[in-house]
Each structure stands twice: as C-alpha cells, then as structure tokens.
C-alpha cells in the first residue's frame, strides 16, 4: 500500500507529466527516428541511425525545448484552460507555478547544453527556438493568423533540425513536409474553435473570436482542399518513393472528406473535439505508417 506522501508524489509526477505533455514528447521522439530511418537517411542502416550520438543529442535537445514550451504555455493559459479544460487544469495545478517555472528554466538550460555537444550553430538555433516558444505563448498565440502560423511552424521545427543534419534535399521530402504542415495548420484552427469559449472570455484575438465560426469553417475547408494537393502528388508522382505508405495517403484523403462533412454540421464543443481527434488520428497513423515506405527492407536494414 502507498502511504500518503508517496501518493502525493505520484500525483505531482503525473501532474507535471500532464503539463509537459509527456505522451506528445514520446510520440515526437518516435516520429523523428522513424522519419530519419525511412525518409531522411534511407541509405543508412537502422542500427547506424539508432546509434548516432549526434542525432540522439539533437532529439533530446528538441524534446527538452518542446517540454519547456508546453510548461510556459500552461503557465500563460492557466485561466483559459480552467474554462476550456477544467478537469485537466485541476490535475495540472497539483504542481505549483514556482515548480513549473523552475522546471521550465532547467529544461531550457538542458536543451542548450545538449545542443553544445553538436555545434555552436546548434546552440544558436535552439536558443532562438526556445525564445520563439516563449514569445508564442506570451504574445503571438493571442492574435489571428500569425498565432496559428507560428504554432504550425514551431511544431515542425524539430523535423527541420534533423532534415538539415542529414542534408537530404529530395523533392519528395518537401512534399511530405507540406502535407504535414497543412494537417498541423488545420489542427491549430480546429483547436481555436474547440477553445472558443475560453478565448472569447479572456479576449484572445483568435480567428473564431474575431471572424466567427462560419468564416473559420470556410478557412478550414480551404485548408482541407489544399491538403489534398500534396497527398495526390505523393500517390501519383512519388508512388515508388512512398511505397506501401501510399495506402495511408489514400486513407487520409478519405478521412479529410469525412472531416469536412462533419465540420459543416458541427455546432457544439464536442463536435470540434471529434474533429480534432480525426486530425490527431491522421497524424498518429501517419507516423506509424512511415515504416511501410520500405517494409520489405526492415530486416535487411538492421
């Protein structure tokens, strides 16, 4: 049996895990490694990628920076989250704001120290990245368009770091990146619709608050249609490069059609939560499907 002190410790641990969204961090690490193995460094064996110390350090630096970004975002959004996600906020508040800020600075310092192992340029890069994570949470997220665009860019930056590290500039990678960026942009806008009540109450100048739900739905529809373009290019012009992952892109297009149909019938928060879940599902399955690019070579690449 756990005594009271241990129970409190576990609750605070899970609270901090919730604040830094540890499940997202773990998912990001898996996504970067799968992307490195099957897309960015296809000529290297799986063992070479997994034992690359520089790659490991870059991934850990990215994870630390993003975790700190979640903390500072939670710090600034505490009032809004109390309206939009009261249950999660109650759990998050088991850890004091002082502890959160201390952890925030420690994670930022850890990110820079890890980056210094690779190069001075990496230190500069991650220092700028950390600054923009803070600036987004402090200022930019409260404004339409630029807040959504910044959030989408900050999400794909860790993949950009590995992209530069391997120096693979094949066109198919850019098409993959555009598809990912479009899905993330849609997710950021649907999150604004999901959090409309809290944003409106605290005067966040998001797109739904300023222009209304109908305009937001029209923008999401345009983004959804535009997302079909990179997906179609990948299944028609790069079918050999994507291998059996082609089935994922076909499935994604079907999921996007369902998304757009449900979008125009959505009226309540629960409807937007479902739509958000569809986009999350597309992202998660996309990561898990990366191995299908060369599924027949998994054993020989070990």
> CATH code at 217?
1.20.120
* Inside any domain, residue 9: no
Residues 154 and 231 both lie in one domain: no
* Inside any domain, residue 6: no
Which of 152, 169, 186 is the C-terminal boundary of a domain?
169
* Inside any domain, residue 188: yes
> With 80 as the cut, is the pLDDT of residue 91 above it?
no
pLDDT at residue number 153? 92
Residues 190 and 63 both lie in one domain: no
pLDDT at residue number 85? 73
Residues 220 and 278 both lie in one domain: yes
pLDDT at residue number 150? 92
Which of 169, 200, 217 is the C-terminal boundary of a domain?
169
Range from 88-97, 103-112, 126-135, 177-186 carrying the lowest mean pLDDT? 88-97
User: What number is the average pLDDT over the span 120-141?
Assistant: 93
* Inside any domain, residue 272: yes
Residues 92 and 59 both lie in one domain: yes
Which residues form the domain of 185? 170-302
User: What number is the average pLDDT over the span 238-242?
Assistant: 87
CATH number at residue 48: 1.10.357.140
Residues 34 and 59 both lie in one domain: yes
pLDDT in tens, 19-74: 778 888 999 999 999 999 988 888 888 899 999 999 999 999 999 999 999 989 88
pLDDT at residue number 299? 43
> In the structure, what pLDDT confidence band is assigned to residue 136 with cuts at 50, 70 and 90?
very high
* Inside any domain, residue 13: no
* Inside any domain, residue 10: no
Termini Cα distance of the chain? 44
Residues 207 and 284 both lie in one domain: yes
Residue matched to tokens 């201390």: 102
> With 90 as the cut, is the pLDDT of residue 9 above it?
no
Mean of pLDDT over the chain: 87
Number of domains in the chain: 2
CA atoms within a 13 Å half-sphere pointing along the CA-CB vector of 186: 30
Residues 35 and 163 both lie in one domain: yes
User: What number is the average pLDDT over the span 281-293?
Assistant: 91
Residues 158 and 278 both lie in one domain: no
pLDDT in tens, 247-279: 999 999 999 999 999 999 998 989 999 999 999
Which of 119, 138, 169 is the C-terminal boundary of a domain?
169
Residues 100 and 123 both lie in one domain: yes
User: What number is the average pLDDT over the span 5-31?
Assistant: 78
* Inside any domain, residue 142: yes
Residues 144 and 178 both lie in one domain: no
Residues 281 and 153 both lie in one domain: no
> In the structure, what pLDDT confidence band is assigned to residue 100 with cuts at 50, 70 and 90?
confident
Angle, CA 249 vertex, CA 169 and CA 290 arms, to 5°: 55
* Inside any domain, residue 55: yes
Residues 255 and 165 both lie in one domain: no
Say how far apart CA 276 and CA 19 lie, in whole Å.
19
pLDDT at residue number 297? 45
Per-residue tokens: 148: 């959504």
The DSSP string of the chain is ---HHHHHHHHHHHHHHHHTTHHHHHHHHHHHHHHIIIII-TTS-HHHHHT-HHHHHHHHHHHHHHHHHHHHHHHHTHHHHHHH-HHHHHHHTTS-HHHHHHHHHHHHHHHHHHHHHH-HHHHHHHHHHHHHHHHHHHTGGGSTTHHHHHHHHHHHHHHHHHHHHHT---HHHHHHHHHHHHHHHHHHHHHHHHTHHHHHHTT---HHHHHHHHHHHHHHHHHHHHHHHHHHHHHHTSHHHHGGGHHHHHHHHHHHHHHHHHHTT--SHHHHHHHHHHHHHHHHHHHHTGGGGGGGGHHHH-
Say how far apart CA 59 and CA 61 lie, in whole Å.
5
């Amino acid at each position: 049996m756990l005594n009271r002190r241990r129970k409190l410790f576990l609750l605070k641990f899970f609270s901090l895990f919730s604040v830094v969204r540890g499940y997202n961090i773990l998912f990001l690490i898996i996504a970067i490694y799968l992307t490195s193995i099957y897309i960015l460094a296809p000529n290297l064996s799986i063992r070479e990628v997994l034992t690359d110390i520089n790659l490991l350090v870059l991934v850990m630096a990215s994870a630390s920076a993003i975790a700190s970004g979640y903390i500072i975002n939670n710090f600034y959004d505490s009032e809004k989250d109390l309206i939009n996600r009261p249950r999660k906020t109650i759990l998050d508040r088991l850890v004091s704001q002082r502890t959160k800020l201390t952890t925030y600075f420690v994670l930022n310092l850890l990110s820079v120290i890890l980056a210094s192992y690779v190069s001075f340029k990496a230190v500069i890069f991650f220092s700028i990245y950390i600054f923009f994570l803070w600036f987004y949470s402090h200022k930019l997220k409260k404004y339409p368009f630029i807040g959504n665009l910044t959030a989408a860019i900050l999400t794909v930056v860790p993949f950009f770091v590995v992209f530069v590290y391997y120096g693979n500039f094949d066109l198919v990678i850019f098409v993959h990146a555009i598809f990912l960026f479009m899905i993330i942009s849609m997710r950021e806008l649907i999150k604004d619709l999901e959090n409309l009540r809290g944003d409106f109450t605290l005067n966040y100048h998001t797109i739904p608050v300023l222009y209304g739900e109908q305009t937001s739905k029209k923008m999401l529809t345009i983004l959804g249609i535009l997302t079909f373009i990179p997906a179609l290019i990948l299944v028609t012009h790069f079918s050999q490069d994507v291998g059996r992952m082609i089935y994922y892109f076909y499935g994604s297009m079907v999921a996007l059609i369902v998304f757009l149909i449900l979008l125009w019938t959505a009226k309540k928060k629960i409807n937007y939560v479902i739509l958000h879940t569809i986009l999350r599902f597309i992202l998660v399955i996309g990561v898990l499907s990366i191995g299908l690019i060369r599924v027949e070579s998994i054993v020989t690449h070990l």
